[in-house]
Amino acid sequence: MRIQYILYFYVLMHLASCVKYESLVYMQDKAKQKSFDSYKTSEYKIRPFDNLSIKLNSFEQSTTGEFNSSGALGARPGGVDNALLYLSGYMVNQKGNIRLPLIGDVEVVDLTVDEIKDLIDLKLEEYLKFPSVSVKLTNFRVSVLGEVNRPGMQYIYEGKVTLLQALSQAGDLTVFANRKNVKLIRETESETISTYIDVTKPGLISSEYYFLMPNDVIYVEPTQAKTSNVNTRVAGVVLSVVSVLITTINLIVTINR
């Protein structure tokens, strides 16, 4: 009878640790079709110690080669080499400047990538005919931690990325992820913001945090069910050992009789 009670207790603990279906669904909404006002994303403004890839296109190939050799986009067979991108890019110094061939120091801090492109194009017109540069931010990365299948740092090579895309790159949330408490930590020019996002709400798309910014950190908290699940497994092992001991003791007592 004692063994039966132990088994009943174990089953109840297991049921208590189960995750409900509703807690696993993203952007819950019963409507078949719904439209949202998209949030206008604010463009990222360059800060000190950012790294830029700047490539010049011009009819004057000799100058173009010298210009691009200092900050050309780095790549290796099979993919992009992040270390090479960093080493071959133009680092924004603490004063907010980058140093370019021909034109020297250019102040880029607090400018967007498009504004930097226009500024360099204008300065190069003094030296070249019909210059055109492409400017890319090479240190656009986000970190995804917690209850995801592949936590780690993600390098973004597109102009923008959404929270759902970052979670997808991380292998999606685990069954024990708290989808109502996804923490996002963001550094702005003046402060560090920490906010919680509920990815079960369809209004997520309209949130100002739906589109990620460089250096965002996403932390997915575990649910209480994970703690219960871990405790259940530990309790299961303990109860199994206790059951074996009780059975062994009962056999010994029966034999001695």
Return the CATH number of the domain spanning residue range 51-137: 3.30.1950.10
Q: What is the mean pLDDT of the segment spanning 197-223? A: 91
Domain assignments of the chain as residue spans, ordered by start: 2-17+227-256, 22-42+140-222, 51-137
- CA nearest 166: which of 180, 182, 181? 182
Give CA–CA dist 243/40, Å, rounded: 62
Check whether 2 has a pLDDT greater than 80: no
Report domain 22-42+140-222's class.
alpha beta
- CA nearest 89: which of 103, 107, 68? 68
Q: What is the pLDDT of residues 231-250, one digit of tens each?
A: 455 555 555 666 666 667 76
Query: Could you tell me which residue, 230 or 87, shows the higher pLDDT?
Result: 87
Check whether 253 has a pLDDT greater than 80: no
Q: What are phi and psi of 225, to 5 degrees?
A: -60, -30
Query: Could you tell me which residue, 178 or 127, shows the higher pLDDT?
Result: 178
pLDDT band for position 24 (cuts 50, 70, 90): low
Q: What is the mean pLDDT of the segment spanning 97-112? A: 93
Which residue type is seen at 82? N
Check whether 148 has a pLDDT greater than 90: yes
What is the model's pLDDT at position 132?
85
Which two structure tokens, joined as six digits, stand for 115?
Answer: 């504004």
Give CA–CA dist 66/87, Å, rounded: 16
Check whether 66 has a pLDDT greater than 90: no
